[in-house]
Structure 1
Amino acid sequence: MKSGQQDPQRLPRHLCADCALPKEVKSKVGEKVGLPCCHEIPSSESLRNYRVYWQKNTKEVVLAYSEGEKISDHDQYTNRTELDSKNLTLWISPVEILDNGTYQCVVQHLRFSHDFSPRVVCDAPVSLSVTADFSEPNITSNVINTTCESTEMVVTCSSHGGFPKPKISGVFNNGSLVWNTTWVSESSLSPYNVTGKLHLNVTKDVNLTCSVEYNGFVKSTSLLLTKTNDCIAPTMPPSYNVITATSIIFIIFLLAITLAARYFPRHACFHCSKNQDSMEEDEKESMKPPMICKMTSETSSL
Protein backbone atom coordinates (compact mmCIF):
# COMPACT_ATOMS: atom_id res chain seq x y z
CA MET A 1 0.00 0.00 0.00
CA LYS A 2 1.37 3.44 -0.97
CA SER A 3 2.29 6.04 1.62
CA GLY A 4 -0.67 8.04 2.81
CA GLN A 5 -3.22 5.40 1.76
CA GLN A 6 -5.64 4.11 4.35
CA ASP A 7 -6.53 0.52 4.93
CA PRO A 8 -9.76 0.03 2.91
CA GLN A 9 -11.05 -2.28 5.62
CA ARG A 10 -10.90 0.61 8.15
CA LEU A 11 -12.36 3.43 6.09
CA PRO A 12 -14.61 5.91 7.93
CA ARG A 13 -18.24 5.92 6.86
CA HIS A 14 -19.88 9.33 6.35
CA LEU A 15 -23.26 9.46 4.71
CA CYS A 16 -23.65 11.83 1.79
CA ALA A 17 -26.83 13.89 2.29
CA ASP A 18 -26.77 15.23 -1.26
CA CYS A 19 -26.50 11.85 -2.95
CA ALA A 20 -29.74 10.69 -4.57
CA LEU A 21 -29.21 6.93 -4.91
CA PRO A 22 -31.70 4.18 -5.62
CA LYS A 23 -32.37 2.15 -2.54
CA GLU A 24 -32.11 -1.07 -4.49
CA VAL A 25 -30.73 -2.26 -7.81
CA LYS A 26 -32.14 -5.50 -9.21
CA SER A 27 -30.46 -7.93 -11.56
CA LYS A 28 -30.73 -11.53 -12.69
CA VAL A 29 -28.02 -14.17 -12.66
CA GLY A 30 -25.88 -13.92 -15.80
CA GLU A 31 -26.71 -10.27 -16.55
CA LYS A 32 -24.50 -7.16 -16.37
CA VAL A 33 -25.43 -4.66 -13.67
CA GLY A 34 -24.17 -1.20 -12.75
CA LEU A 35 -24.09 0.08 -9.15
CA PRO A 36 -24.15 3.90 -9.12
CA CYS A 37 -21.74 5.80 -6.91
CA CYS A 38 -22.55 8.84 -4.80
CA HIS A 39 -20.05 11.10 -6.58
CA GLU A 40 -19.23 12.08 -10.14
CA ILE A 41 -15.80 13.45 -11.03
CA PRO A 42 -15.99 16.97 -12.51
CA SER A 43 -14.80 17.43 -16.06
CA SER A 44 -11.96 19.61 -14.77
CA GLU A 45 -10.52 16.71 -12.80
CA SER A 46 -9.58 13.08 -13.39
CA LEU A 47 -9.54 9.83 -11.50
CA ARG A 48 -5.91 10.57 -10.55
CA ASN A 49 -7.18 13.12 -7.98
CA TYR A 50 -9.24 10.52 -6.11
CA ARG A 51 -9.31 7.29 -4.22
CA VAL A 52 -12.38 5.17 -4.84
CA TYR A 53 -13.32 2.14 -2.78
CA TRP A 54 -16.22 -0.17 -3.57
CA GLN A 55 -16.91 -2.36 -0.55
CA LYS A 56 -19.46 -5.02 0.21
CA ASN A 57 -21.02 -5.30 3.67
CA THR A 58 -18.28 -2.87 4.93
CA LYS A 59 -15.88 -5.82 5.11
CA GLU A 60 -14.92 -6.95 1.61
CA VAL A 61 -13.15 -4.63 -0.82
CA VAL A 62 -14.65 -5.42 -4.21
CA LEU A 63 -12.55 -2.92 -6.17
CA ALA A 64 -10.27 -0.03 -5.19
CA TYR A 65 -8.51 2.71 -7.20
CA SER A 66 -5.98 5.31 -6.06
CA GLU A 67 -4.54 8.05 -8.24
CA GLY A 68 -6.05 6.42 -11.30
CA GLU A 69 -4.65 2.92 -10.72
CA LYS A 70 -6.24 -0.25 -9.42
CA ILE A 71 -4.83 -1.13 -6.01
CA SER A 72 -7.12 -3.96 -4.89
CA ASP A 73 -9.86 -6.33 -5.94
CA HIS A 74 -11.52 -9.35 -4.36
CA ASP A 75 -10.89 -12.85 -5.68
CA GLN A 76 -14.63 -13.40 -6.05
CA TYR A 77 -14.83 -10.41 -8.45
CA THR A 78 -11.64 -10.93 -10.42
CA ASN A 79 -12.26 -10.30 -14.14
CA ARG A 80 -15.91 -9.53 -13.39
CA THR A 81 -15.76 -5.86 -12.35
CA GLU A 82 -15.12 -2.50 -14.04
CA LEU A 83 -15.08 1.09 -12.74
CA ASP A 84 -16.40 3.99 -14.78
CA SER A 85 -13.69 6.68 -14.61
CA LYS A 86 -16.18 9.57 -14.50
CA ASN A 87 -19.35 8.59 -12.62
CA LEU A 88 -17.53 5.84 -10.66
CA THR A 89 -20.24 3.26 -11.36
CA LEU A 90 -19.24 -0.28 -10.44
CA TRP A 91 -20.10 -2.72 -13.24
CA ILE A 92 -20.40 -6.44 -12.42
CA SER A 93 -20.71 -9.08 -15.13
CA PRO A 94 -21.85 -11.80 -15.15
CA VAL A 95 -23.91 -11.45 -11.98
CA GLU A 96 -23.89 -14.36 -9.53
CA ILE A 97 -26.12 -15.17 -6.57
CA LEU A 98 -23.17 -14.50 -4.24
CA ASP A 99 -23.15 -10.87 -5.44
CA ASN A 100 -26.41 -10.29 -3.59
CA GLY A 101 -25.91 -7.78 -0.75
CA THR A 102 -25.23 -4.17 0.25
CA TYR A 103 -22.35 -2.19 -1.28
CA GLN A 104 -20.73 1.13 -0.34
CA CYS A 105 -19.06 3.60 -2.66
CA VAL A 106 -16.43 5.54 -0.68
CA VAL A 107 -14.80 8.47 -2.52
CA GLN A 108 -11.84 10.46 -1.18
CA HIS A 109 -10.37 13.58 -2.74
CA LEU A 110 -6.59 13.62 -2.44
CA ARG A 111 -5.01 16.65 -0.80
CA PHE A 112 -1.47 16.95 -1.97
CA SER A 113 -0.17 18.32 1.28
CA HIS A 114 2.55 17.28 3.67
CA ASP A 115 0.18 15.13 5.79
CA PHE A 116 -1.38 13.30 2.83
CA SER A 117 -4.74 13.34 4.58
CA PRO A 118 -7.52 12.86 1.98
CA ARG A 119 -10.95 14.42 2.26
CA VAL A 120 -13.95 12.08 2.18
CA VAL A 121 -16.27 13.29 -0.56
CA CYS A 122 -19.04 10.74 -0.03
CA ASP A 123 -19.77 7.35 1.44
CA ALA A 124 -23.19 5.91 0.53
CA PRO A 125 -24.70 2.41 0.38
CA VAL A 126 -26.57 0.75 -2.48
CA SER A 127 -28.30 -2.64 -2.35
CA LEU A 128 -27.98 -5.24 -5.08
CA SER A 129 -30.87 -7.72 -5.22
CA VAL A 130 -30.00 -10.76 -7.34
CA THR A 131 -32.64 -13.06 -8.79
CA ALA A 132 -32.32 -16.53 -10.27
CA ASP A 133 -35.34 -17.87 -12.14
CA PHE A 134 -37.15 -20.90 -10.79
CA SER A 135 -38.21 -23.74 -13.04
CA GLU A 136 -41.81 -23.99 -14.20
CA PRO A 137 -43.80 -25.50 -11.30
CA ASN A 138 -44.53 -29.20 -11.62
CA ILE A 139 -47.93 -30.33 -10.24
CA THR A 140 -48.82 -33.95 -9.48
CA SER A 141 -51.87 -35.49 -7.81
CA ASN A 142 -52.26 -38.79 -5.95
CA VAL A 143 -55.74 -40.22 -5.23
CA ILE A 144 -55.93 -41.77 -1.75
CA ASN A 145 -59.68 -42.37 -1.45
CA THR A 146 -62.82 -42.05 -3.53
CA THR A 147 -66.58 -42.10 -2.89
CA CYS A 148 -69.62 -41.29 -4.97
CA GLU A 149 -69.59 -37.77 -3.53
CA SER A 150 -65.89 -36.82 -3.75
CA THR A 151 -62.33 -37.88 -4.54
CA GLU A 152 -59.72 -37.40 -1.81
CA MET A 153 -56.24 -36.63 -3.14
CA VAL A 154 -52.84 -35.18 -2.22
CA VAL A 155 -51.53 -32.51 -4.61
CA THR A 156 -47.81 -31.67 -4.82
CA CYS A 157 -46.28 -28.58 -6.49
CA SER A 158 -42.50 -28.26 -6.82
CA SER A 159 -39.93 -25.96 -8.42
CA HIS A 160 -36.14 -25.67 -8.19
CA GLY A 161 -32.99 -23.71 -8.98
CA GLY A 162 -34.18 -20.23 -8.06
CA PHE A 163 -33.26 -17.36 -5.75
CA PRO A 164 -34.19 -15.75 -3.37
CA LYS A 165 -36.38 -17.84 -1.07
CA PRO A 166 -39.82 -18.04 -2.71
CA LYS A 167 -43.35 -18.58 -1.55
CA ILE A 168 -46.00 -20.84 -3.09
CA SER A 169 -49.54 -19.65 -3.69
CA GLY A 170 -52.43 -21.02 -5.72
CA VAL A 171 -56.05 -20.90 -6.76
CA PHE A 172 -58.57 -23.74 -6.48
CA ASN A 173 -62.28 -23.47 -7.27
CA ASN A 174 -61.98 -19.63 -7.35
CA GLY A 175 -60.47 -19.60 -3.85
CA SER A 176 -56.92 -19.10 -2.57
CA LEU A 177 -54.91 -21.98 -1.13
CA VAL A 178 -52.60 -22.35 1.84
CA TRP A 179 -49.77 -24.76 0.99
CA ASN A 180 -47.70 -26.81 3.39
CA THR A 181 -44.35 -25.55 2.07
CA THR A 182 -40.78 -26.80 2.53
CA TRP A 183 -37.55 -25.25 1.23
CA VAL A 184 -34.14 -26.80 0.60
CA SER A 185 -30.96 -24.73 0.12
CA GLU A 186 -27.28 -25.26 0.94
CA SER A 187 -26.96 -21.73 2.34
CA SER A 188 -28.67 -18.34 2.43
CA LEU A 189 -26.88 -17.46 -0.85
CA SER A 190 -27.57 -20.72 -2.71
CA PRO A 191 -30.38 -21.73 -5.09
CA TYR A 192 -33.58 -22.96 -3.49
CA ASN A 193 -35.75 -25.99 -4.16
CA VAL A 194 -39.32 -25.53 -2.97
CA THR A 195 -42.19 -28.02 -2.54
CA GLY A 196 -45.78 -27.40 -1.50
CA LYS A 197 -48.43 -30.00 -0.58
CA LEU A 198 -52.23 -29.89 -0.28
CA HIS A 199 -54.92 -32.29 0.93
CA LEU A 200 -58.07 -31.80 -1.17
CA ASN A 201 -61.56 -33.27 -1.57
CA VAL A 202 -62.58 -32.91 -5.21
CA THR A 203 -66.34 -33.04 -5.86
CA LYS A 204 -66.12 -32.17 -9.58
CA ASP A 205 -63.55 -31.65 -12.32
CA VAL A 206 -61.76 -28.37 -11.54
CA ASN A 207 -58.54 -26.52 -12.41
CA LEU A 208 -55.85 -25.92 -9.78
CA THR A 209 -53.13 -23.28 -10.27
CA CYS A 210 -49.78 -23.31 -8.45
CA SER A 211 -47.63 -20.15 -8.48
CA VAL A 212 -44.04 -19.68 -7.30
CA GLU A 213 -43.36 -16.04 -6.34
CA TYR A 214 -39.86 -14.61 -5.88
CA ASN A 215 -38.48 -11.06 -5.87
CA GLY A 216 -41.38 -9.68 -7.90
CA PHE A 217 -41.43 -12.55 -10.43
CA VAL A 218 -44.03 -15.32 -10.75
CA LYS A 219 -43.98 -18.75 -12.41
CA SER A 220 -47.36 -20.54 -12.65
CA THR A 221 -48.71 -23.90 -13.80
CA SER A 222 -52.28 -25.27 -13.89
CA LEU A 223 -53.58 -28.84 -13.65
CA LEU A 224 -57.08 -30.26 -14.20
CA LEU A 225 -58.09 -32.31 -11.15
CA THR A 226 -60.56 -35.01 -12.19
CA LYS A 227 -63.14 -36.57 -9.90
CA THR A 228 -63.16 -40.35 -10.37
CA ASN A 229 -66.48 -42.07 -11.22
CA ASP A 230 -65.93 -45.69 -10.26
CA CYS A 231 -68.92 -46.04 -7.90
CA ILE A 232 -72.45 -47.43 -8.58
CA ALA A 233 -75.05 -44.72 -8.62
CA PRO A 234 -78.03 -45.33 -6.25
CA THR A 235 -81.31 -46.57 -7.81
CA MET A 236 -83.82 -43.80 -8.27
CA PRO A 237 -87.20 -44.39 -6.53
CA PRO A 238 -90.22 -44.82 -8.87
CA SER A 239 -92.25 -41.74 -9.60
CA TYR A 240 -95.75 -41.08 -8.20
CA ASN A 241 -97.42 -41.91 -11.55
CA VAL A 242 -95.65 -45.25 -11.74
CA ILE A 243 -96.73 -46.12 -8.20
CA THR A 244 -100.38 -45.19 -8.98
CA ALA A 245 -100.51 -47.22 -12.20
CA THR A 246 -98.95 -50.22 -10.49
CA SER A 247 -101.51 -50.05 -7.67
CA ILE A 248 -104.45 -49.91 -10.11
CA ILE A 249 -103.15 -52.91 -12.05
CA PHE A 250 -102.70 -54.86 -8.82
CA ILE A 251 -106.27 -54.06 -7.67
CA ILE A 252 -107.71 -55.12 -11.05
CA PHE A 253 -105.74 -58.35 -10.81
CA LEU A 254 -107.17 -59.09 -7.34
CA LEU A 255 -110.73 -58.39 -8.55
CA ALA A 256 -110.24 -60.71 -11.50
CA ILE A 257 -109.08 -63.51 -9.22
CA THR A 258 -112.05 -62.94 -6.87
CA LEU A 259 -114.60 -63.04 -9.70
CA ALA A 260 -113.02 -66.10 -11.19
CA ALA A 261 -113.14 -67.87 -7.82
CA ARG A 262 -116.87 -67.20 -7.57
CA TYR A 263 -117.82 -68.11 -11.16
CA PHE A 264 -115.92 -71.33 -11.79
CA PRO A 265 -117.19 -73.33 -8.73
CA ARG A 266 -120.86 -72.57 -9.60
CA HIS A 267 -120.38 -73.61 -13.19
CA ALA A 268 -118.72 -76.82 -12.12
CA CYS A 269 -121.59 -77.69 -9.72
CA PHE A 270 -124.16 -77.18 -12.45
CA HIS A 271 -122.44 -79.81 -14.53
CA CYS A 272 -122.17 -82.10 -11.50
CA SER A 273 -125.94 -82.02 -10.73
CA LYS A 274 -126.79 -82.66 -14.35
CA ASN A 275 -124.55 -85.68 -14.48
CA GLN A 276 -126.01 -86.99 -11.19
CA ASP A 277 -129.63 -86.81 -12.50
CA SER A 278 -128.62 -88.70 -15.59
CA MET A 279 -127.04 -91.43 -13.49
CA GLU A 280 -130.14 -91.79 -11.31
CA GLU A 281 -132.40 -92.23 -14.35
CA ASP A 282 -130.11 -94.90 -15.75
CA GLU A 283 -130.23 -96.70 -12.47
CA LYS A 284 -134.05 -96.69 -12.38
CA GLU A 285 -134.24 -98.05 -15.87
CA SER A 286 -131.96 -100.87 -15.02
CA MET A 287 -134.14 -101.92 -12.07
CA LYS A 288 -137.33 -102.30 -14.16
CA PRO A 289 -138.42 -105.92 -14.93
CA PRO A 290 -137.72 -107.13 -18.39
CA MET A 291 -140.53 -106.82 -20.83
CA ILE A 292 -142.05 -110.23 -22.07
CA CYS A 293 -143.39 -110.24 -25.44
CA LYS A 294 -146.87 -112.04 -25.45
CA MET A 295 -147.98 -113.33 -28.67
CA THR A 296 -151.64 -114.16 -29.15
CA SER A 297 -152.78 -117.34 -30.58
CA GLU A 298 -153.97 -115.46 -33.44
CA THR A 299 -150.66 -114.08 -34.06
CA SER A 300 -149.00 -117.39 -33.64
CA SER A 301 -151.31 -119.13 -35.98
CA LEU A 302 -150.31 -116.74 -38.53
Structure 2
Amino acid sequence: MKVPKGKTVLVKGVASIKGECEVLGARLNFFECEKFVPVFCIEDCEIEINGEFRILDGSTIPESWKKLAKMDWETVFLYGGVDSGKSTLAAYLANKVGGAYVLDLDIGQADIANPGAMGYGFAKDVVSLSKVSMINGFFVGSITPQGREAKCLQGVARLWKELRRLDGRKIVDTTGWVKGRGAKEYKLAKLEIIEPDLIASFEGKPFDWKTFEVEKGYVIRRDKIDRAKARFESYQKFLRGARILELERDRINLKPDLFRGKDVTQFIESVLGV
Protein backbone atom coordinates (compact mmCIF):
# COMPACT_ATOMS: atom_id res chain seq x y z
CA MET A 1 0.00 0.00 0.00
CA LYS A 2 1.41 3.40 -1.01
CA VAL A 3 0.87 6.22 1.49
CA PRO A 4 1.55 9.87 0.56
CA LYS A 5 3.81 12.18 2.56
CA GLY A 6 2.03 13.89 5.47
CA LYS A 7 -0.45 11.07 6.15
CA THR A 8 -0.70 8.98 9.32
CA VAL A 9 -1.57 5.30 9.22
CA LEU A 10 -2.94 3.81 12.44
CA VAL A 11 -1.80 0.19 12.46
CA LYS A 12 -2.85 -2.69 14.69
CA GLY A 13 -0.93 -5.83 13.85
CA VAL A 14 2.28 -6.25 11.85
CA ALA A 15 3.72 -3.46 9.69
CA SER A 16 6.67 -3.41 7.29
CA ILE A 17 7.59 0.05 5.99
CA LYS A 18 9.70 1.32 3.09
CA GLY A 19 10.41 5.03 3.28
CA GLU A 20 11.10 7.60 6.01
CA CYS A 21 8.49 7.63 8.75
CA GLU A 22 8.11 8.23 12.48
CA VAL A 23 6.38 5.75 14.79
CA LEU A 24 5.61 7.46 18.11
CA GLY A 25 8.80 9.45 17.81
CA ALA A 26 10.94 6.47 16.75
CA ARG A 27 12.36 5.75 13.29
CA LEU A 28 11.23 2.18 12.65
CA ASN A 29 10.70 0.12 9.50
CA PHE A 30 9.07 -2.90 11.12
CA PHE A 31 6.94 -3.51 14.20
CA GLU A 32 4.20 -5.66 15.64
CA CYS A 33 1.67 -4.41 18.19
CA GLU A 34 -1.69 -5.47 19.61
CA LYS A 35 -2.76 -1.81 19.90
CA PHE A 36 -3.24 0.86 17.23
CA VAL A 37 0.07 2.64 16.58
CA PRO A 38 0.46 5.86 14.53
CA VAL A 39 2.87 5.76 11.59
CA PHE A 40 3.51 9.29 10.28
CA CYS A 41 4.92 9.38 6.76
CA ILE A 42 7.70 11.98 6.49
CA GLU A 43 7.97 11.09 2.80
CA ASP A 44 5.95 8.92 0.44
CA CYS A 45 6.01 5.42 1.94
CA GLU A 46 5.08 1.91 1.00
CA ILE A 47 3.57 0.01 3.92
CA GLU A 48 2.69 -3.67 4.10
CA ILE A 49 0.18 -4.40 6.86
CA ASN A 50 -1.09 -7.66 8.30
CA GLY A 51 -3.93 -6.48 10.54
CA GLU A 52 -6.23 -3.48 10.89
CA PHE A 53 -5.44 0.05 9.76
CA ARG A 54 -6.89 3.55 9.33
CA ILE A 55 -5.48 6.44 7.30
CA LEU A 56 -5.65 10.01 8.64
CA ASP A 57 -4.53 13.41 7.39
CA GLY A 58 -1.56 15.00 9.15
CA SER A 59 0.11 13.92 12.39
CA THR A 60 -1.71 12.58 15.45
CA ILE A 61 1.03 13.89 17.77
CA PRO A 62 -0.06 17.19 19.41
CA GLU A 63 2.33 20.16 19.34
CA SER A 64 2.35 20.22 23.16
CA TRP A 65 3.88 16.71 23.18
CA LYS A 66 6.65 17.85 20.85
CA LYS A 67 7.38 20.86 23.08
CA LEU A 68 7.43 18.66 26.20
CA ALA A 69 10.00 16.32 24.62
CA LYS A 70 12.32 19.31 24.06
CA MET A 71 12.00 20.67 27.61
CA ASP A 72 14.69 20.24 30.27
CA TRP A 73 13.40 17.72 32.82
CA GLU A 74 14.83 14.66 34.50
CA THR A 75 11.57 13.27 35.94
CA VAL A 76 8.13 13.97 34.50
CA PHE A 77 4.86 12.82 36.12
CA LEU A 78 1.95 12.16 33.72
CA TYR A 79 -1.50 13.13 35.02
CA GLY A 80 -4.81 12.50 33.27
CA GLY A 81 -8.08 10.60 33.24
CA VAL A 82 -8.96 7.30 31.59
CA ASP A 83 -8.18 7.13 27.85
CA SER A 84 -6.40 10.49 27.88
CA GLY A 85 -3.27 9.10 26.20
CA LYS A 86 -0.81 8.92 29.12
CA SER A 87 0.79 5.64 28.08
CA THR A 88 1.09 6.77 24.48
CA LEU A 89 2.71 10.02 25.63
CA ALA A 90 5.11 8.05 27.84
CA ALA A 91 6.23 5.91 24.89
CA TYR A 92 6.56 8.98 22.65
CA LEU A 93 8.67 10.88 25.18
CA ALA A 94 10.95 7.90 25.79
CA ASN A 95 11.53 7.53 22.06
CA LYS A 96 12.11 11.24 21.40
CA VAL A 97 14.67 11.71 24.19
CA GLY A 98 16.68 8.69 23.08
CA GLY A 99 15.47 6.36 25.82
CA ALA A 100 14.12 6.76 29.36
CA TYR A 101 13.06 4.74 32.37
CA VAL A 102 9.28 4.41 32.65
CA LEU A 103 7.61 3.74 35.99
CA ASP A 104 4.19 2.26 35.23
CA LEU A 105 1.88 2.81 38.22
CA ASP A 106 -1.38 2.04 36.39
CA ILE A 107 -2.36 -1.19 38.12
CA GLY A 108 -5.65 -1.41 36.21
CA GLN A 109 -4.21 -1.30 32.70
CA ALA A 110 -0.58 -2.10 33.45
CA ASP A 111 1.68 -2.27 30.41
CA ILE A 112 5.12 -3.00 31.87
CA ALA A 113 3.95 -5.18 34.76
CA ASN A 114 0.96 -7.52 34.84
CA PRO A 115 -2.47 -6.11 35.76
CA GLY A 116 -2.69 -5.66 39.52
CA ALA A 117 0.98 -4.73 39.75
CA MET A 118 3.37 -1.82 39.24
CA GLY A 119 6.68 -2.03 37.42
CA TYR A 120 9.45 -0.14 35.70
CA GLY A 121 11.74 -0.70 32.74
CA PHE A 122 13.85 1.12 30.17
CA ALA A 123 12.00 2.23 27.03
CA LYS A 124 13.68 3.07 23.73
CA ASP A 125 12.33 2.76 20.18
CA VAL A 126 9.11 1.15 21.41
CA VAL A 127 5.65 1.24 19.81
CA SER A 128 3.94 0.56 23.15
CA LEU A 129 4.91 0.34 26.82
CA SER A 130 3.81 -3.30 26.65
CA LYS A 131 7.03 -3.91 24.68
CA VAL A 132 9.18 -2.71 27.60
CA SER A 133 10.93 -5.43 29.62
CA MET A 134 10.24 -5.11 33.34
CA ILE A 135 13.31 -4.58 35.52
CA ASN A 136 11.41 -4.85 38.78
CA GLY A 137 7.82 -4.69 39.99
CA PHE A 138 5.52 -4.64 42.99
CA PHE A 139 2.38 -6.79 43.27
CA VAL A 140 -0.69 -5.01 44.67
CA GLY A 141 -3.33 -7.66 43.98
CA SER A 142 -6.05 -5.27 42.80
CA ILE A 143 -6.85 -3.52 39.52
CA THR A 144 -7.92 -0.35 41.31
CA PRO A 145 -6.05 1.69 43.94
CA GLN A 146 -9.31 2.53 45.72
CA GLY A 147 -9.26 0.76 49.07
CA ARG A 148 -5.63 -0.26 48.47
CA GLU A 149 -4.04 3.18 48.69
CA ALA A 150 -1.63 2.27 51.49
CA LYS A 151 -0.29 -0.79 49.70
CA CYS A 152 -0.03 1.12 46.41
CA LEU A 153 1.97 3.90 48.07
CA GLN A 154 4.21 1.28 49.63
CA GLY A 155 4.90 -0.02 46.12
CA VAL A 156 5.50 3.47 44.75
CA ALA A 157 8.01 4.23 47.51
CA ARG A 158 9.83 0.91 47.13
CA LEU A 159 10.18 1.10 43.34
CA TRP A 160 11.10 4.79 43.35
CA LYS A 161 13.82 4.14 45.92
CA GLU A 162 15.48 1.87 43.32
CA LEU A 163 14.69 3.92 40.25
CA ARG A 164 15.83 7.32 41.50
CA ARG A 165 19.38 5.96 41.87
CA LEU A 166 19.63 5.12 38.17
CA ASP A 167 21.11 7.57 35.69
CA GLY A 168 18.80 8.75 32.94
CA ARG A 169 15.49 10.44 32.42
CA LYS A 170 12.42 9.06 34.13
CA ILE A 171 8.75 9.10 33.10
CA VAL A 172 6.01 8.24 35.61
CA ASP A 173 2.77 6.86 34.13
CA THR A 174 -0.20 6.80 36.51
CA THR A 175 -3.79 5.56 36.79
CA GLY A 176 -6.75 7.42 35.31
CA TRP A 177 -8.33 7.86 38.75
CA VAL A 178 -8.45 11.66 39.04
CA LYS A 179 -12.00 12.51 40.16
CA GLY A 180 -12.85 13.16 43.81
CA ARG A 181 -11.02 14.05 46.98
CA GLY A 182 -9.61 10.56 47.48
CA ALA A 183 -8.09 10.55 44.01
CA LYS A 184 -6.46 13.96 44.53
CA GLU A 185 -5.00 12.95 47.90
CA TYR A 186 -3.68 9.70 46.42
CA LYS A 187 -2.01 11.48 43.50
CA LEU A 188 -0.57 14.13 45.83
CA ALA A 189 0.96 11.41 48.02
CA LYS A 190 2.68 9.94 44.94
CA LEU A 191 3.94 13.37 43.96
CA GLU A 192 5.41 13.89 47.42
CA ILE A 193 7.22 10.54 47.20
CA ILE A 194 8.60 11.04 43.69
CA GLU A 195 9.08 14.84 43.67
CA PRO A 196 9.13 15.18 39.87
CA ASP A 197 10.56 18.20 38.08
CA LEU A 198 7.35 18.59 36.14
CA ILE A 199 3.75 17.40 35.87
CA ALA A 200 2.51 16.86 32.32
CA SER A 201 -1.24 17.25 32.79
CA PHE A 202 -4.18 16.46 30.53
CA GLU A 203 -6.50 17.97 33.18
CA GLY A 204 -5.33 21.56 33.65
CA LYS A 205 -3.27 22.43 36.74
CA PRO A 206 -4.50 20.08 39.50
CA PHE A 207 -1.84 20.87 42.13
CA ASP A 208 0.47 23.64 43.24
CA TRP A 209 3.31 22.09 41.27
CA LYS A 210 5.23 23.07 38.15
CA THR A 211 2.84 21.92 35.44
CA PHE A 212 2.91 21.77 31.65
CA GLU A 213 -0.51 21.25 30.09
CA VAL A 214 -0.74 18.78 27.21
CA GLU A 215 -3.51 18.01 24.75
CA LYS A 216 -5.06 14.63 24.16
CA GLY A 217 -3.78 12.91 21.07
CA TYR A 218 -5.86 10.74 18.76
CA VAL A 219 -7.46 8.29 21.19
CA ILE A 220 -9.34 5.11 20.32
CA ARG A 221 -11.52 4.61 23.36
CA ARG A 222 -11.89 1.18 24.90
CA ASP A 223 -14.98 -0.09 26.70
CA LYS A 224 -15.02 -2.40 29.73
CA ILE A 225 -14.95 -5.49 27.52
CA ASP A 226 -11.88 -4.24 25.64
CA ARG A 227 -10.11 -3.45 28.92
CA ALA A 228 -10.94 -6.87 30.38
CA LYS A 229 -9.64 -8.52 27.20
CA ALA A 230 -6.41 -6.52 27.42
CA ARG A 231 -5.90 -7.63 31.04
CA PHE A 232 -6.57 -11.26 30.08
CA GLU A 233 -4.00 -11.11 27.28
CA SER A 234 -1.47 -9.47 29.61
CA TYR A 235 -1.91 -12.24 32.20
CA GLN A 236 -1.45 -14.80 29.42
CA LYS A 237 1.86 -13.18 28.46
CA PHE A 238 3.20 -13.13 32.02
CA LEU A 239 2.01 -16.64 32.90
CA ARG A 240 3.27 -18.26 29.69
CA GLY A 241 5.64 -21.07 30.62
CA ALA A 242 4.60 -21.05 34.29
CA ARG A 243 4.50 -24.31 36.25
CA ILE A 244 1.87 -25.59 38.68
CA LEU A 245 3.34 -26.75 41.98
CA GLU A 246 1.52 -29.04 44.39
CA LEU A 247 2.57 -28.80 48.04
CA GLU A 248 1.43 -30.80 51.05
CA ARG A 249 -0.44 -28.56 53.48
CA ASP A 250 0.93 -30.19 56.61
CA ARG A 251 4.51 -29.56 55.44
CA ILE A 252 4.01 -25.81 54.99
CA ASN A 253 4.37 -23.35 57.85
CA LEU A 254 1.90 -20.46 57.39
CA LYS A 255 2.21 -17.31 59.47
CA PRO A 256 -0.67 -14.82 59.73
CA ASP A 257 0.32 -11.19 59.16
CA LEU A 258 -2.79 -9.35 60.34
CA PHE A 259 -2.01 -6.26 62.45
CA ARG A 260 1.74 -6.72 61.97
CA GLY A 261 2.28 -4.08 59.28
CA LYS A 262 3.86 -0.65 59.64
CA ASP A 263 2.02 2.63 59.50
CA VAL A 264 2.30 3.76 55.86
CA THR A 265 3.55 7.23 56.85
CA GLN A 266 6.40 5.76 58.90
CA PHE A 267 7.22 3.36 56.07
CA ILE A 268 7.43 6.11 53.44
CA GLU A 269 9.53 8.33 55.71
CA SER A 270 11.95 5.48 56.37
CA VAL A 271 12.27 4.75 52.63
CA LEU A 272 12.86 8.40 51.78
CA GLY A 273 15.19 8.91 54.73
CA VAL A 274 13.27 11.88 56.15
TM-score (norm 1): 0.20
Q: Give the structure with the higher percent strand.
A: 1
Q: Give the structure with the higher percent helix.
A: 2
TM-score (norm 2): 0.21
Larger radius of gyration between Structure 1 and Structure 2: 1
